[in-house]
Amino acid sequence: MNISQTSSTNQKMNAKNSSLRASLSIQMRVLGALLMREIITRYGRHNVGFLWLFIEPMMFSIGITILWSYTSHTQGIIPVAGFALTGYSAIVLWRNMVSRLANTSSANQGLLYHSQVSVMDLILSRAFLEAAGVTVSFIGLSFAFIALDLMFLPSDPLKIAFAWFLLIWFVIAAGMIAAYAGETSEVFDRVWHVMMYLTLPFTGAFSMVSWLPPGVQEILLWSPMVHAVEMLREGYFGNGVIAIYSVFYLMSCNLVLTLVGLVLIRKIRRNLEES
């Protein structure tokens, strides 16, 4: 290869890199604008405004902690506050994420007339907002409960962070599928709230798997979310619990759900254009 060919190749590579950087920059600006729009639309500009994004899940978690404190919901040395926090934060994340994403396209259909806005942008902006709200609530209540001696310091913070990441990944992937179902089926929109309650036993929030009979364990371990919550609690309580989970199974399910979700999301815009 001579000098002129080398120079031409380098120019093409630089042009591709510049184009990629420009595209990423535009994408980030689009997501940022959609996030701000979602915050203002949902919470307004007055009173505590967007702080409700964090306050709402905190209120639910505190309420469940108080309730479980009077029902002896845990076993052994596990603090009730820590058990309730890990369990109900996961439920709030699951419920809020899937419910919000289920009607994303229909609620924001007008924005799709902008060429730079895609269905995936709408879904990601809502997903990031919900994940941020519950995550801040989860971290804030953890510090508060530790400061009040309601729970002890986490055994393995890195494991907690990894389990929380896998849990967020799972609920976003499930939310992508729900977004397609909510757009294409009127029945789904009507029965989804009932389905949410029916899925609660399969979240792993109300009991450790090891506390249950073997037959029930086998059923629950089909749920990817149970594996995430078990791992999360092992990160908090260490040797205080016997956690049963598989990182490989959880990540495999997340990958499959993500691929299915991406395929279905591509169909959403086609359906909107045809309608």
**pLDDT tens digit string along 59-89?**
777 777 776 666 655 555 678 888 888 888 8
Q: Which two tokens stand for residue 44?
A: 């307004």
Summarize the confidence of residues 98-112 as an average pLDDT: 71
| Cβ-Cβ contacts under 8 Å for 69 (sequence gap 6 or more) | 80, 81, 84
pLDDT on residue 261: 92
Instruction: State the total domains in the chain.
Output: 1
Q: How far does Cα 248 stand from its chain's mean position?
A: 19
- The model's pTM: 0.82
Domain-located, residue 87: yes
Domain-located, residue 26: no
Confidence of residue 94 (pLDDT cuts 50, 70, 90): very high
Predicted confidence (pLDDT) at residue 39 exceeds the cutoff of 80: no
| b/e map 233-257, b = 16+ CB within 10 Å | bbbbbeebbebbbeeeebeebbeeb
Summarize the confidence of residues 157-179 as an average pLDDT: 94
Residue among 96, 27, 102, 33 nearest 59 (CA): 96
Q: Which two tokens stand for residue 46?
A: 């007055």
Domain-located, residue 13: no
Please calculate the CA angle 53-54-59 and round it to the nearest 5 degrees. 110
Q: What is the pLDDT of residues 178-224, one digit of tens each?
A: 888 877 777 777 788 788 888 888 998 888 899 899 999 999 999 99
Backbone angles phi, psi at 71, to 5 degrees: -120, 5
Tokens 């609660």 sit at which residue?
200
Summarize the confidence of residues 159-178 as an average pLDDT: 94
Domain-located, residue 8: no
Residue among 222, 230, 220 nearest 87 (CA): 230
Predicted confidence (pLDDT) at residue 100 exceeds the cutoff of 70: yes
Domain-located, residue 168: yes
Domain-located, residue 238: yes
CB 92 within 8 A of CB 130: no
Range of the domain at 57: 31-274
CB 102 within 8 A of CB 175: yes
Domain-located, residue 91: yes
Alpha-carbon span 190 to 202, nearest angstrom: 21
CB atoms within 10 A of CB 221: 17
Out of 41-45, 104-108, 260-264, give the one with best mean pLDDT. Answer: 260-264
Q: Which two tokens stand for residue 22?
A: 């420009």
Domain-located, residue 146: yes
Tokens 């505590």 sit at which residue?
48
